Structure formats: structure tokens, C-alpha cells
Amino acid sequence: MDLSFVKMHGCGNDYVFVDAMHWCRADLNRVDFAALARSISNRHLSVGGDGLVVMLAAVRDDIDVRIRMFNADGSEGAMCGNAIRCVAMWLHQSKRSDRCSRIMMQDRIIDAEVLSSDATRKQAIVRVSIGSPATVVPGAEGMSKFVRSVSLHDIQLSGRPVELTSVSMGNPHAILYVDDVELTSVDKLGPQIERHREFPDRTNVEFVQVLGPDAAIVRVWERGSGETQACGSGACAAAVAGWTQGLFAHDNPVRIQMRGGELLVRISDEHMVTLEGPAKESFRGSLAFIEM
């Protein structure tokens, strides 16, 4: 059969999106989505992308769509801020929802709002509520501290000590602060940290160059995909780590500059994290599809 798809990206973090909202259970059961992700993500032999996103029928009345995201290596992800913004744009521009939608990914429900939309150019600015990293308790001098979501790890890489800040945004992130991201060997350090024994389920890795109290440059090594142009949950993790460690002003949004563009991260008084940035459709197509 022919498999129709939409290619979309958020700041260059690109995915192949498949609309399976009307697929029957038998069709869904015939497809090995992990194998499909590995095949379709190949940039030389297929569509190419950082992974596959499958859009499924809602299982509850209070959500618009359920999604599953598979990295380029076939592993399934638990959170993807850039893909969620793309889905919100697609829902709105295909008239499946208004500007506000609710998207379910694993056990999280994410509220999304299309702030501006250009249906002709197939692009939009979208804000999504990623949620709270974890339980929050009051800290000293009226500040707050994230509990069980942020921790420090001292590891050894090539015999040298490295301090990492570990952050949970529904998926794992390890933050490494550097003086200059462009001089950092992301392609060497990324896979070492991703698969370090300290992280038995592997981890995403963010290399963070702090520019000031409201800005940073970040390069990201994504678990299962390698270095990508951007990572929405990674931008949130970098901001959360900076807020907890006093590197960013707690009442300011943080501009995270990634290779594919800029993302804006905010945190509310209730410690809810929101992510704002562009979503854009690249093209549509279909593939001759052999069941996997």
C-alpha cells in the first residue's frame, strides 16, 4: 500500500508524520513502527528525519489526538516539544481543532496554543505547556527547588571528571556547561554521555553556553537520533537547570538559541514550563509501503 506522510520540523528538528487517526486496529497491529522509523528516517535511502511521529485517534473525549514518537534508531520517545508544536499546527491548519488543542503523548497531556498561523506558507508559532519537571518544595529566601527532577552527577570521561546536571522533563536530560559550544566535541562527548553507565536507560545530552540571565546557546545530542538541529524538551531542561542553579533569573523567560533557530522557555509561579517556537511543514508525499 501507499503510506502518506507529512514532513514537518520545529527549528530544524524534523520528523516524518503519519496520520493514522482513522486506521483500524488490524492496520495498526500490522505495522512495526520501530522498524518503520528506522527505515523512513534514513536521509540517504528514504524520506529522512530525526524520527517518526504517528498521530492516532484520541482515547479520551478531552484530547484531540494521541501521538507516538520514534527516534531514528527505532526507540520510542516519551516527550518531544518540537514534534508536539508541529502536530498542533497541523491540527489547526487542517481544521481538526481551533487554535487551542490537547495532545496526549504516553501518559502526559500537553496543552498547545497556535499563537500565529500562516496556512499558505504552512508555518506557525506555537506555545505548548510541557508541565512541571517534578514535585516542587519551598526553598531558601522564597526561592523554590525542583525535587527529584534536577540532580548532579560526577562521571569520568576518558579518565577526566565531568560534572553533569541531570533533569527530567518526562524524558531524561544531562546538562553539560561549556565555555563555547562551537569548540565542543559534541559528536564525541554526546554518545559517551548518552550511554554512560550512570544512565542505564540512556539520556539526551545538552551542551549549554550561558550568555546571560535570560539567554543561552545550546547544542543537543538526542538519545536515539544523534546531534539534531534543536530539541524542545532539551531547551526546557537547559532552562530548568539554569533556573535552579541561579544562572537564569527565575522571573524571566529564557531564549535558547539552537542550530536550527530560537526557542523561548517560560516558567510560571506554579512551576509549569512552557515552550514557544516555530513549526513548519516542509512537504508531503507517499511511499510504497511494505508491511513491517
Catalytic site positions: 80, 231
Phi-psi label, residue 257: left if phi above 0, alpha if psi -120 to 50, beta otherwise: beta
Q: What are the CA-CA distances from residue 136 to residues 38, 75, 107, 165, 214 (Å)? A: 38, 30, 20, 17, 22
Question: How far is it, in rounded angstroms, from Cα 85 to Cα 107?
Answer: 18
Q: What's the CA angle centered on 13, arms 194 and 184, to 5 degrees?
A: 45
> Which one-letter DSSP state was computed for residue 75?
P
Looking only at the bridges linking them, the beta strands covering 136-138 and 144-146 are antiparallel
Spatial separation of the C-alpha atoms in residues 218 and 235, rounded to whole Å: 8
Q: Is 226 left (phi over 0), alpha (psi -120 to 50) or beta?
A: left
- Confirm if 38 and 49 have CB atoms less than 8 A apart: no
Identity of the amino acid at 208: V
CA dist 147 → 96, 167, 267 (Å): 38, 10, 16
**CB distance 116 to 125 below 8 Å:** yes
Task: Give residues with Cβ within 8 angstroms of 68, minimum separation 6.
Answer: 33, 53, 54, 56, 76, 105
The distance between the two most distant Cα atoms of the chain, rounded to a whole number of Å, is: 62
